Chain A
Amino acid sequence: MIKRSVSLADDVAKAVEAAALEDGVSFSSWLSAAAERQLRVRQGLRGVAAWETEAGTLTAEEIAAGEALLARLLSGVSGMASRVRRR
């Protein structure tokens, strides 16, 4: 475990404190978990970029379709793949 001294804006620090209390973890654990998630998102987007290098960049239309599908699923609507486009 490495100890680092970090500076946070007052409102951010207060919000983290409240969230950590709510989640039943320490301030440090909460921050560490948030950083871990952010790093995973970053790695994941790099993974998508690596796939695009071989398969071709997702078009604006495909990105919009992916966002729409995600929004539908998160709003509780099931669906089925209609036409699979592969590359």
Chain B
Amino acid sequence: MPGTRDGIVYGPAALRSAARGDRIVWAMHRAALANGIIPVVPAVAVADAYRTEARVDRLEELLAGSEVEDLRDPSARRAGELAARADTSDLVAVAVAEAASRHNAAVVASRQNALRGAAGLLGHELVLYAV
């Protein structure tokens, strides 16, 4: 079994679930904040959620208690290299996996092979709540 985790990273599916009113996601988000844990969201995941969700008011309510991480050098280069190694064009999944590895965090996202593949290449055993 993977070891303990220190935080939470949200993928686009977590944001979409919250926007669509998934109450367990909101309850977990509340629990994280109550325990002093600020979920991390890669900026590309935010972009993807805003691409597909109409309820941006709910996205904003969730993101008010999240840390949106910009994709800058050297993380951008690492993400690109990792995507190449994982043989995927899914940069969102790769960025989520990279953030999870860097923060030793569990992930709330959809089940994606790209996510698992990228985490595996990083030697990070994925702890995932699939929404």
B74: CB under 8 A from chain A? no
Interface mask (A32-72 → B, CB under 8 Å = 1, otherwise 0): 00000100110111111011100100100011011101100
Segment at the B interface, from A5-13, A23-31, A77-85 = A77-85
Q: Is residue B102 contacting chain A, with contact meaning CB distance below 8 A?
A: no
Task: Find out whether the CB atom of A44 lies under 8 angstroms from the CB atom of B66.
Answer: yes
Verify A87–B28 contact, CB threshold 8 A. Answer: no
Q: Are A55 and B24 in contact (CB under 8 A)?
A: no
Cα A85 to Cα B63 with chains together (Å): 20
* A70 and B32 contact, Cβ closer than 8 Å, known pairs A44-B66, A58-B26, A81-B131: yes
A65 engages B38 (CB within 8 Å):
no
Contact A62 B27 (CB under 8 A): yes
Which of A40, A65, A76, A85 makes the CB contact (< 8 A) with B127? Answer: A76
Q: Is the CB of B2 within 8 A of A76?
A: yes
User: Are B30 and A84 within 8 A (Cβ)?
Assistant: no
Q: A55 near B21 (CB under 8 angstroms)?
A: yes
Size bin of chain A's contact surface: 20 to 34
- Main SS at interface, chain A: helix
Measured CA separation A87–B8 after assembly (Å): 24
A77's partner among B38, B61, B65, B127 (CB-CB below 8 A) is B127
Interchain CA distance A37-B106 in the complex, whole Å: 19
Q: Which of B1, B24, B34, B108 has the most CB of A within 10 A?
A: B24
- Residue pair B129, A79 in contact (C-beta under 8 Å): yes
Cα distance A73–B9 in the bound complex, in angstroms? 11
Contacts of B35 in A (CB 8 A): 70
Contact, CB under 8 Å: A85 / B24: yes
The answer to whether A63 touches B65 (Cβ under 8 A) is no
Q: Which of A55, A78, A85 contacts B129 (CB 8 A)?
A: A78
State the Cβ distance, B97 to closest chain A Cβ, in Å: 14
Decide: A45 and B24 in contact? CB cutoff 8 A: no
Chain B residues within 8 Å of A, Cβ to Cβ: 1-6, 8, 17-18, 20-24, 26-38, 58, 60-67, 106, 108, 111, 126-131
